[in-house]
């Protein structure tokens, strides 16, 4: 199955470089490019890519607003990866809250770009555990726990809460399985159940949810 990708960046050279790397893969095809957030929404509707690589800072409409609109309209049919040249900041955090499945630094090695696209296309979230945790802790620490979100935790079993906590701390399924003495398939089943019960898209949103609901405290 071919993974359909749209590349969104206001710099044509950046779009071209990313497209060249991805089009060299037998299972990936760049089906569209866009230079603004408005164009990103248009190509997402028209071309229905599986993955959108989204720059944050663009004219007309920024990547944050474009991400929120694409996710709201197309839901799980498309995954958004945020592109940034900067140290992860509040803008990236807000993009994760808006439904992005992760973020990438633009200077990453080509092979990591390919792995990232395949990961999110397969329903995963791109979470560089240490960076993402620092990012979320930095901005979650500025907020009080959301009581409405905390109330939604009541729908989870004790084991599902354990899994959410481990995901929020950056653990992989294999690491969670070892820590909780359960099988990897069982972990995957718990994660799927958590996503359904909490109405979340992927692991990236689980991490944000866990901190904002107060299940995991910054620095813990």
Domain parsing of the chain, residue ranges? 3-126, 136-213
Q: pLDDT category, 85, cuts 50, 70, 90?
A: confident
Residue range 125-172, pLDDT digits in tens: 666 555 566 666 666 665 666 777 778 888 999 999 999 999 888 788
Question: Which one-letter DSSP state was computed for residue 155?
Answer: G
136-213 falls under which CATH superfamily?
A: Response regulator (3.40.50.2300)
- For the stretch 163-216, pLDDT in tens is 999 988 878 888 899 999 999 899 999 999 999 999 888 888 888 888 888 887
SS (H, E, C) 156-216: CCHHHHHHHHHHHCCCCHHHHHHHHCCCHHHHHHHHHHHHHHHCCCCHHHHHHHHHHCCCC
| Cα gap 175→81, rounded to integer Å | 24
Q: What is the pLDDT of residue 159?
A: 95
Instruction: Give residue-wise pLDDT tens across range 20-43.
Output: 999 999 999 999 999 999 999 999
The Cα–Cα gap between 16 and 30 comes to 10
Please write the tens of the pLDDT for every residue from 42-74.
999 999 999 999 998 888 888 889 999 999 999
Domains 3-126 and 136-213 share a fold: yes
CATH architecture under which domain 3-126 falls: 3-Layer(aba) Sandwich (3.40)
Cα separation, 147 vs 215, whole angstroms: 11
């Amino acid at each position: 199955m071919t993974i359909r990708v749209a590349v969104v960046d206001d710099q044509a050279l950046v779009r071209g470089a990313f497209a060249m790397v991805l089009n060299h893969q037998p299972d990936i095809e760049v089906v569209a490019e866009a230079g603004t957030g408005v164009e990103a929404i248009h190509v997402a509707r028209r071309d229905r890519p599986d993955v959108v690589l989204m720059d944050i800072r663009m004219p007309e409409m920024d990547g944050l607003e474009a991400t929120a609109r694409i996710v709201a309209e197309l839901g799980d049919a498309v995954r958004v990866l945020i592109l940034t040249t900067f140290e992860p900041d509040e803008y990236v955090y807000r993009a994760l809250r808006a439904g992005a499945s992760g973020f990438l630094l633009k200077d990453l090695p080509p092979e990591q770009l390919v792995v990232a696209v395949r990961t999110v296309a397969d329903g995963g979230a791109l979470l560089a555990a240490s960076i993402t945790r620092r990012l979320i802790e930095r901005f979650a620490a500025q907020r009080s726990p959301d009581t409405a979100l905390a109330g939604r935790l009541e729908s989870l079993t004790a084991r599902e809460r354990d899994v959410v906590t481990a995901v929020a701390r950056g653990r992989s399924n294999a690491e969670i399985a070892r820590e909780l003495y359960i099988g990897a398939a069982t972990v995957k089943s718990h994660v799927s159940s958590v996503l359904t019960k909490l109405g979340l898209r992927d692991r990236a949103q689980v991490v944000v949810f866990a901190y904002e609901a107060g299940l995991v405290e910054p620095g813990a």
